[in-house]
Amino acid sequence: MSQYQAFVFDFDGVLADSVEIKTEAFRQMYLPHGEEIADRVVLHHRENGGMPRLQKFVHYQKEFLGKPASDEELVDLCRAFSDLVVKNIVAADEIPGVSDFLGNWHGVLPMFIDSATPDSELKQIVEQRGLNGYFEGVFGSDRTKKENLVAILDQNGFIPERVLFFGDALSDYAAALSCGTDFMGIVPGAEAILIRQHPDVNWCRNFTELTLSQVERT
């Protein structure tokens, strides 16, 4: 029996192989402004995994295009982005080993999602992928990842160091560090931005590689 009280998961890149789907969507949305702008958008997106898309659009419109977007324009951008990605994310491959891992731990301890995807969209994706039954709570970008994690801890009375956060982005690690939870990186390899900047972080490539000792505490 794990001595952890709960597991928390980011979604893109941790539960589903969907990071590049969003990367390509950002590229397509800004390609009409030229290859250079599209490349800058992609680079920023890759370096700021876990940042809510609304914040990214604010940045891209102001800093890259020199045209701050109105609230209405931001709503339209977010809607267009959602239209591009939701269907493909629902159909995306899982990160290897996810189904077995969730199945093995379901009913053993509570599990939660903490993602930078908008709440309504995230819940739609989780439901359409048939994952609803595994999670006690699905938290999206209506609040920050740290705020979501604080809510998970406070609402359930969890001891922070007995909660394990699985993430792939700097924002995931920052939230875990700030809240005092344990952290496990799920990343493609040591070249990932998270590992380059924090080489001491525990990580593996997927849930097939995850060893039992890494989710058990003595």
In a domain, 1, yes or no: no
Give CA–CA dist 75/77, Å, rounded.
5
Contact of 16 with 93, CB cutoff 8 Å: yes
Section 111-133 average pLDDT: 96
**Structural domain contains residue 209:** yes
Q: How confident is the model at residue 212 (pLDDT cuts 50, 70, 90)?
A: low
Proportion of the chain above pLDDT 70, given as a percent: 97
Q: Examine the domain organization and report whether 86 and 154 are in the same domain.
A: no
Residue indicated by tokens 């990160």? 95
Average the pLDDT over 158-169 and give the result.
97
Amino acid 218: pLDDT: 38
Q: Tally the domains of the chain.
A: 2
With bands split at pLDDT 50, 70 and 90, how would you rate the model's confidence at 1? very low
Encode pLDDT of 17-63 as tens digits.
Answer: 999 999 999 999 999 999 999 999 999 999 998 899 999 999 999 99
- Which residue type does 133 have? G
Q: In the structure, what pLDDT confidence band is assigned to residue 82 with cuts at 50, 70 and 90? A: very high
pLDDT of residue 214: 75
Q: Residues 68, 146: one domain?
A: no
**What range does the domain containing 177 cover?**
6-17+94-215
Q: Cβ-count burial of 189 within 10 angstroms (0-12 exposed, 13-18 middle, 19+ buried)? A: exposed
Do 72 and 175 lie in one domain? The reply is no
What pLDDT is attached to residue 213? 64
pLDDT of residue 211: 74
Q: Are residues 125 and 193 in the same domain?
A: yes
Q: Percent of the chain having pLDDT more than 90?
A: 92
- Give whole-number Cα distances, 188 to 48, 50, 129, 138, in Å: 16, 16, 22, 24
Report CA 65 to chain centroid distance, whole Å: 27
Tell whether 135 and 98 lie within a shared domain: yes
pLDDT at res. 177: 97
Verify that 120 and 207 share a domain, yes or no. yes
Does position 15 have pLDDT exceeding 70, yes or no?
yes
Regarding whether 120 and 209 lie in a shared domain, the answer is yes
pTM of the model: 0.89
CATH number at residue 137: 3.40.50.1000
- What is the average pLDDT value for the chain, to the nearest integer? 94
